[in-house]
Structure 1
Amino acid sequence: MSESKTPTPTPAGDTYKGWVFKWTNYIKGYQRRWFVLSNGLLSYYRTQAEMGHTCRGTINLATATISVDDACNFVISNGGAQTYHLKASCEVERQRWITALELAKAKAARMQAESDDSGDDFSPSSPPTAPGQGGGSQNSEVQSALRTLGSKVEDLSTCNDLISKHGSALQRSLSELDSLRMTGEAGDKIRQVTERATLFRITSNAMINACRDFLALAQAHSRRWQKALQAERDQRVRLEETLEQLAKQHNHLERAFRGASQANATADNQSASGPGKGEASDDDDNEFFDAMEEAPEFITVPADPQFHKRSSSNVSGFNSEMCPDDQSLNEEPLAMNQESPSQELVPLRKRRTKISDKPNYSLNLWSIMKNCIGKELSKIPMPVNFNEPISMLQRLSEDLEYHELLDKGSKCQSSLEQMCYVAAFSVSSYSTTVYRTGKPFNPLLGETYELDRRRESGYRSLCEQVSHHPPAAAHHVISNRGWTLRQEITVASKFRGKYLSIMPLGTIHAIFEKGNNHYTWKKVTTTVHNIIVGKLWIDQSGEIDVVNHTTGDRCHLKFAPYSYFSRDVARKVTGVVTDKDGKAHYVLSGTWDEKMEFSRVMQSSRGENGSEGKQKTVYQTLKAKEVWKRNPLPEGAETMYYFTSLALTLNELEEGVAPTDSRRRPDQRLMEDGRWDEANSEKQRLEEKQRGVRREREREAASQRTSSQSEEGLSVDEDSLTDPSLKSAPHDSHKALWFERSEDPITGEQIHIYKGGYWEAKDRGSWEECPEIF
């Protein structure tokens, strides 16, 4: 939009836009900027395209002063904090802006005063919404008309005030000129101007009186219209409720009639043990109010007409590529039971739904944490008061809370769509941490944990603590629904005084039998805030790259850190799924504590430069589909460490597990039972026992090195047996029992991979190889 085509000023409340020159500095001088006046706020941008994402500055006219320098220049200041020196292209353009700014300033000041006096947002221009209504389509036009009329009436009142104000000022100025008693031609001109001003004043007064009468009449009619509209809306609500009740009664009578007829027809053959076929088993609401799912639609930007022309084919094609729904997944266990009828006779184990409430123990946090600043927390003994009655191995197994995402992914026909489910699974593991501020128990070296849920969910999981310094846990999950999950996680943590940073190191692998797709990703950083003062809260931040090493597909997820000044929703996660060529196919969005959605990309285009000079991509997508939603917490979770339904069952005693299983750990069991003092004593005993075993292992390793050096003819000092450097050998001489160390063929990392044997040993009940760690 050029300067010559700037729109004529409109009343305050409507948007007024145009190019104005703004003073920047002595080097660049005045620079052309795009200014927008709307709702009492004056904002500016470098270009018109920036309006969608980057505002360079905003000033509130309610508290601003507007002054004129010369023919084209004017200044807007907000108490010294913000000052804009502006220059219009001509005097007429400058006057248009001054008029629009004064109208907006007067209206903004009046609205602010009314808001301060009344304390609510009710105004004649915005009638209240009737109970149970959200501003339906039936009266939207009436409401819009009322709002428009109310706005124009307010603008007219503002114009009256301004005319009265400026007219009085002009009259005073002319009177002062007249008092100078100038003679000659100048005096005649002044008297002529005074006469014209007097005529203008008389005409203005007449217009002001007419406007005042019109305002009073319009406001009175506006109140009547509002009352009439409210009465009509109330009556409509009552009619809808009556109609709903009649529909329910009709439905109930119809069903009762069908049931009675069917019962009479089969009265001779019906047994007394069960209800008749015609009896109602569902609630009326569930049967009567049944809504159809909306068809996919474009939501990001207006769709290109070519997609409208073939919208039906797009919808059917999109749905045909979608994974089977939950019903098809739920049918699989039934098929398994049909193959082995004997399993139908064995009922599923009923898992517990409650543990002992958390005791209220007081603890001086600073007395313990002040000596931990800058240190690795895994090397510092901590009381159980900081813990939750669950081990790190069990927390690792808790990642399987939403295993059904991998079940659905295993049935996808498209690897790109499968990537969406894998990405959602990588996000879902953080949903259990939003309220969980307790620290899990550090596992003892050689500690294991199994989670066998083949009959309920089709998978079984095994974890083992394979290293103590640095602490590392290996995890392997196999599912009979077509996927395998493995990972080795090392947790590094640093206490920074105000917050605690937890950095999980290691790669997670997900392998699907169908298509042989192999995915990898890493975890983001977890931060625990308000360690010393305030209420603890947890945040996740960082980026995740989920990579399909089979096809080259990639999903880049970004976890936005919490910011008090951000306008985005808290705990936001966004991501884009691209193929090996970098073309976007799906967009993911949501939060890591609630839900994730994904949308299919139809087109993408480059947008304008962002705040950091990077181009933003605009995606044209179909309607979003929910891919994951957090399960609600069980009743009373706040007194049970905010455990989920799965977490409540992880430490439940089971027969046949290995003697090194976390369920058998005595200090953890005592803490769960609420006996924290005994748990602290037992924890110290176990840690000292572990240190003794490690010292013995180091002495044996040093003795073996000494023997090998002696055989080679090297001199050995007796003091070398106690050399501290000998105690720092990586991973010392411990070897994991169920995992073996090898190089990962995908990432090239040295990791522990499950070598087998655990489940066979469990079937035999043979645990002779397990060490005695408890």
Structure 2
Amino acid sequence: MNSEEEFYDAETGLESDDDSCEVNFEDAQVYDSKHSSNASTPQENGVWERRKTLPAPMISRCDYSVWGILKKCIGMELSKITMPIVFNEPLSFLQRMSEYMEHTHLIHKACTLSDSIDRMQVVAAFAVSSVASQWDRTGKPFNPLLGETYELTREDEGYRLISEQVSHHPPISAFHAQSLKQEFEFHGSIYPKLKFWGKSVEAEPKGTMTLELLKHKEAFTWTNPLCCVHNIIMGKLWIEQYGTVEIVNHNTGDRCVLNFKPCGMFGKELHKVEGYIQDKSKKKRRVLYGKWTECMYSVAPKVYEANKKKKTEKGDAKKNKPEQSAGEQETEDMPGGQETVSVITGSALLWRITPRPAHSEEMYNFTSFTMTLNELEPGMERLLAPTDCRLRPDIRAMENGDLDTASVEKDRLEEKQRAARKECSKDEEEWSTRWFRLGTNPHTGAQDWLYTGGYFDRNYTDCPNIY
């Protein structure tokens, strides 16, 4: 019954480490938790001051074994396996998906840049930052019920988002975010496929991300990298992202190719991301490098090659230090304020992660942004669709630390969903989505789930009764 993708957390800033860089990012917007998270003006969704913690700490998993459940499932599609609720985190996958928006200031920055290559490198940083929220997030989100929705309105960040579970088998979640000032639209649909391979679980986030910068009349598309959770049998769970991500500007022909490197036998490449941007004539314009858990930099290709040659000639100083295996490296926390990326002189900083709250480990490794996603203030119910996952009793119970009630409610909701499917099958009716329709992505030509509009008119009369 569980088919989810694992995600991670970060916050960011844009700045330059060198005034001589081709692009200066010092004037970029920065997510300021002291300002944005404590907004004193009413938000559209009714929130006055965003919370900084969850109602109850994370439920212990010490008495449960993932291996005991998965040992008979090697090579199987995990959507057909029921996992104990204790391995969940108190969020729906729709809420987990909205964490793409944690670094929206990068999109705002891209909108202000006049050069297409400059815009591409900031969009690339946004693509990397959107998976950074998966770092150390080993709990799985709740499966969304068919027809479930999630609304996220952030006036302080200048956007609003709506998502819907549009298919149950296969599980497909669609989302659409739009700027409140008509600057951009960001949308996509995710079909997460998970497989168990003995010591690890691999998640393939099938689906295309589309970012449209309306002022520049540009559309960028890409797919997310693979995600793998290691040490399922024993040891500390840890996660890596790997695979090639290609970002295409469909209007200019510019392309960015990012290589999320697998950690390797000794963990030397752990979390590393390297790539380049080329224009429509295939000339390499910028080289990007960093780690998806820490930061991303941009540098001129000639400077990058010169640095690479210099390192080859002098020998890498790190070779004289004992290497730390991937397993050893991940048994300790990643450094909070200390970067492990070697910065090349003349590089521009595109994005840097912000440390999580001190109590994050006790709160499912959530960031300050994630802490607010399931928040429900008095009076908020009248604004939300009745299908919004903030209203799900099982997620709410788990957030409050009541595992028994959460388990009972989860079983009840799943049984209600099965009964509704049987009724539709008996009446030969087909499920009808409310806010999205299956169509063709105008930029890729591929099949995609597209937002039909109307959600924020607040007319919920045709919403199904799923809770």
State the shift of 1:520 in Å.
0.2
Offset, 1:602? 5.1
Task: Give the match's secondary structure for 2:427.
Answer: helix
Q: CA shift at 1:604, angstroms?
A: 8.6
Verify the 8 A CA contact 1:378 1:442 in the aligned structure 2: no
**CA 329–629 in structure 1, closer or farther in 2 if over 3 Å, else same:** closer
* CA-CA distance at 1:327 after TM superposition: 6.4
Tell me: CA distance 1:371–1:495, structure 2 relative to 1, closer, same or farther (3 Å).
same
Aligned to 1:650: 373
CA 1:700/1:411 → structure 2, altered by over 3 Å: closer, same or farther? Answer: same
Give the equivalent residue in structure 1 for 2:451. 754
2: distance between equivalents of 1:328 and 1:388? 28
Aligned: 1:593 with 2:316: no
Identify if the C-alpha distance between structure 1 residues 598 and 382 changes in structure 2 by more than 3 Å, giving closer, same or farther. same
In structure 2, do the counterparts of structure 1 residues 551 and 625 end up closer, same or farther at CA, with 3 Å as the change threshold? same
Taking the aligned partners of 1:328 and 1:392, their CA distance within structure 2 comes to 26
* Contact 2:18 2:348 (C-alpha < 8 Å) held by counterparts: no
What SS is found at the alignment partner of 1:403?
Answer: helix
Find out whether 1:692 has 2:389 as its counterpart: no
Distance 1:578 1:622, change over 3 A: farther
Once the 2 structures are TM-superposed, how far is the Cα of residue 359 of structure 1 from its aligned partner? 2.6
CA 1:343/1:693 → structure 2, altered by over 3 Å: closer, same or farther?
closer
- Contact 1:447–1:660, Cα closer than 8 Å, also in 2: yes
TM-score (norm 2): 0.81
Q: CA deviation at 1:349?
A: 2.0
Secondary structure of the structure 2 residue equivalent to 1:326:
coil
Corresponding residue for residue 157 of structure 2 = 457
Q: Percent identity?
A: 42
Structure 2 distance, partners of 1:328, 1:686, is: 40
In structure 2, distance between residues paired with 1:566 and 1:463: 37
Go from structure 1 to structure 2 and tell me whether the alpha carbon gap of 1:405 and 1:665 turns closer, same or farther (over 3 Å shift): same
Contact 1:488 1:506 in 2 (8 A): yes
Q: 1:380 and 1:389, CA in 2 relative to 1: closer, same or farther beyond 3 A?
A: same
SS at match of 1:409: helix
Match for residue 495 of structure 1 among 196, 199, 203? 196
CA shift digits 1:313-338 (9 cap, x unpaired): xx6xx35xx567136999xx9xxxxx
* Alpha-carbon distance between aligned partners in 2 of 1:650 and 1:505, rounded to the nearest angstrom: 24
Deviation sequence 1:253-311 (CA, Å, 0-9, x none)? xxxxxxxxxxxxxxxxxxxxxxxxxxxxxxxxxxxxxxx97543xxxxxxxxxxxxxxx
1:769 lines up with 2:462 in the alignment: yes
Do the aligned residues in 2 keep the contact of 1:508 with 1:522 (CA within 8 Å)? Answer: yes
**In 2, Cα distance between equivalents of 1:350 and 1:410:** 28
Within the candidate set 28, 33, 36, 1:326 is matched to 28
3-state secondary structure, aligned to 1:633: coil
CA deviations on 1:593-616 (whole Å, 9 max, x unpaired) are 0111111345798999xxxxxxxx
- CA contact 1:435–1:537 (8 Å) conserved in 2: yes
The structural deviation recorded for 1:769 is 0.9
Q: What SS does the corresponding residue of 1:423 show, helix, strand or coil?
A: helix
SS of corresponding position for 1:565: coil
Give the equivalent residue in structure 2 for 1:413: 114
Structural mapping, 1:244-393, within 5 Å? 294-296=18-20, 318=22, 322=24, 325-326=27-28, 349-355=48-54, 356-361=56-61, 362-393=63-94
- Cα distance in 2 for partners of 1:294, 1:556 equals 24
Give the gaps of 5 or more residues in structure 2. 1-15, 36-40, 310-343
Q: How many corresponding residue pairs?
A: 401
Tell me if 1:576 matches 2:267. Answer: no
Contact 1:585/1:602 (CA < 8 Å) preserved in 2? no
What 5-or-longer segments of structure 1 have no aligned partner? 1-291, 297-314, 334-341, 609-620, 705-732
In 2, are the aligned partners of 1:466 and 1:473 still within 8 Å (CA)?
yes
Q: 1:760 to 1:531 in 2, by over 3 A?
A: same
Match of 1:737 among 412, 415, 434: 434
Q: What amino acid maps onto 2:356 in structure 1?
A: L
User: Which secondary structure state, in structure 2, belongs to the residue aligned with residue 515 of structure 1?
Assistant: coil
Q: Does the 8 Å contact 1:651/1:663 carry over to 2?
A: yes
* CA contact 2:29–2:105 (8 Å) conserved in 1: no
Alignment of 1:654-673 (within 5 A): 654=377, 655=380, 656-673=383-400
Which residue among 675, 700, 707 is the counterpart of 2:402?
Answer: 675
- 3-state SS of 1:433 partner: coil
User: 232, 235, 238: which is aligned to 1:537?
Assistant: 238
Moved more, 358-367 or 473-482: 358-367
In structure 2, relative to structure 1, the CA distance for the partners of 1:652 and 1:751 (3 Å cut) is: same
SS in 2 for 1:410: helix
Which residue number in structure 1 is paired with residue 170 of structure 2? Answer: 470
- 1:395 is matched with which residue? 96
Tell me which residue corresponds to 2:206: 505
Q: What letter corresponds to residue 754 of structure 1 in structure 2?
A: Y
Structure 1 distance, partners of 2:258, 2:65, is 39
Q: Is the 8 A contact 1:554 1:579 kept in 2?
A: yes
Partner-residue secondary structure (3-state), 2:107: helix
Distance 1:402 1:293, change over 3 A: closer
Q: Deviations over 1:600-640 (max 9, x none)?
A: 345798999xxxxxxxxxxxx97001110112101211110
| Contact 2:29–2:109, Cα closer than 8 Å, also in 1 | no
Q: Distance in 1 between matches of 2:292 and 2:64?
A: 31
The Cα of 1:377 is off from its aligned counterpart by 1.5
Deviation at 1:685, TM superposition (A): 1.0
Tell me the equivalent position of 2:350: 627
Q: In the alignment, residue 658 of structure 1 is paired with which amino acid? A: A
Q: Check conservation: 1:377, 1:493, Cα contact below 8 A.
A: yes
1-side partners of 2:130 and 2:250: how far apart? 22
2:59 and 2:86 in contact (8 A); partners too: no
Per-residue deviation, 1:452 = 0.5
Give yes or no for contact 1:324–1:412 (8 Å, CA) kept in 2: no
Query: Amino acid of the residue matched to residue 402 of structure 2?
Result: R
Opposite residue 412 of structure 1, the aligned amino acid is L
- Aligned ranges 1:32-47 → 2 under 5 Å: none
1:531-578 residue CA offsets vs partner (Å, 9 max, x unmatched): 11111111101010000000000000000101233544x210001010
How far does residue 372 in structure 1 lie from its aligned partner after superposition?
A: 2.7
Tell me how far apart the structure 2 counterparts of residues 601 and 329 of structure 1 sit (CA, whole Å): 30
SS at match of 1:544: strand
CA 423–673 in structure 1, closer or farther in 2 if over 3 Å, else same: same
- Name the structure 2 match of 1:24: none
Q: Tell me whether 1:431 sits opposite 2:124 in the alignment.
A: no
Q: Deviations over 1:23-71 (max 9, x none)?
A: xxxxxxxxxxxxxxxxxxxxxxxxxxxxxxxxxxxxxxxxxxxxxxxxx
Name the aligned partner's letter for residue 573 of structure 1.
V
CA-based RMSD of the aligned residues comes to 2.6
Could you give the per-residue CA deviations for residues 652-701 of structure 1, whole angstroms, max 9, x where no partner exists? 01411111001001111111111111111111111111111111112222
Amino acid at match of 2:353: R
